Amino acid sequence: MIGVYRVFLVCLGVFCLSCFGATAKSMDSNLGKRKHPNNGYQIQSTKFKSDFSPIARKSVAFPSKYSAGTIVIRTSERRLYHVTAEGRALAYGIGVGKTGFTWSGSNKISRKAEWPGWTPPARMRAREAKKGRILPAYMPGGPNNPLGARALYIGSTIYRIHGTNQPWTIGHAMSSGCIRMANDDVKHLYANVGVGTRVVVLR
């Protein structure tokens, strides 16, 4: 009987994981196609408003001491650089922490998530409550979630590189310390980095 129960639990776990994967793919597939206003390349849009960046990602010269694969965030430039080779990187437009919420340091990606749920820190909930904005204790993943389509968790910190349902904030300092990317960009980065990737944040 115990053996049958264990088999049941394993099957249930596999079923739940497959359902979640199907749900994530369904939400991704609902993102259609639209021309980027800056350079005309095709990216995803139509149903959700949070898919593309007003700053097109592009390959750039990037002389630095960092090895290929490293993510370098230059807060003052509002750019995230994914080093692709010696002297080259892919540059993405980002949103950064507002005044008093910027930070710097070096860490690694500890976890990756598709359409992540959001648990606002107690301090953030209290801070926003004073402004008359009541945040939920938890919000499941989806197009209305402020973490967007993907999240890359930075070490054991409270910070993430994540998507957004507010693409107009890209290029600005409006977050509480996390690094925001348009959903199309964060999905692109997510597909090209793994757990353990080094992240360097510079002011």
Residues involved in catalysis = 162, 178
Q: How many CA atoms lie within 13 A of 119 on its CB side?
A: 2
Compute the C-alpha angle 140/29/58, nearest 5°: 95
Inter-CA distances, 121 with 124, 127, 134, 135, 173, Å: 5, 10, 13, 10, 19
